[in-house]
Amino acid sequence: MVELMQLAFSPINVVFTLLLITIVIYWLVVIVGVLDTDLFDFDMPEMDGDLDAGSDVDLGPGMAWGILHWFHVGEIPVMVLLSCFILSLWAIAILGNYYLNPGQHILQALGVFICNVAISSLVVKCVALPLRPLYALFYKDFNAPRKVIGSQGLVVTTQVTAELMGQLEVHTKGAPIRLNVRSKHDHVFHEHDPAVIVERDQKSNIYFIVPPK
């Protein structure tokens, strides 16, 4: 254990260890209910999906969005993916430097880091593949009644804006249901704020809300 602690806080591994500690603190805060897992989530633009072999490849923002889509960002909470990435980075850094760089040389550590990023990216992709359908199932509104337009509920996520999706809890004759919502206008909703459903996006199955009159 002492050797592991010394290796974890050695100059070549300390950055990964600090990142891991930050992630652990984040999840502890989530568990006690101070933060939501979707706090840092954002909506992804639609991808055309028609890049032909002879088409020009966009090396700018389009490529960045494509990489995020490849990791299923927008379908799986960002912090879940980031946590897997950092955990993998830390574990591979510890093992890689222990076996391949016992002298803790900077150049060798850089080589381990480059391989580490590539392997950890594949680890995140492998983790995301089974999580994607699970999260799709979790966020699907199976019990949503056909007519909820005009219904009032309470925001149950930290924040809902026109850009940031959140959830609204609506009480029905049966069990309460939670719907994925966005603000219809520029109003910013916070947790426990009342809101009225005024519209639904058929394509994304997201409802739009406004403050009650």
Which fold, 152-210?
OB fold (Dihydrolipoamide Acetyltransferase, E2P) (2.40.50)
Q: 106 by DSSP, 3-state: which?
A: helix
Look up residue 17 and give its two tokens: 């260890």
Buried b (16+ CB within 10 A) or exposed e, 91-112: ebbbebbbeebeeeeeebbeeb
Q: pTM of the prediction?
A: 0.61
pLDDT, one tens digit for every residue, the chain (213 residues): 888 899 999 999 999 999 999 999 999 988 887 666 666 655 555 444 444 434 444 445 567 777 878 888 877 888 899 999 999 999 999 999 999 999 999 999 999 999 999 999 999 999 999 988 877 666 555 445 557 888 999 999 999 999 899 999 998 766 788 888 999 988 999 999 999 999 988 777 789 999 998
> What residue segments make up the domains of the chain, in order of their start?
2-139, 152-210
Nearest to 47 by CA among 19, 26, 73, 22: 73
Instruction: Give the residues across from 111 on adjacent strands.
Output: none
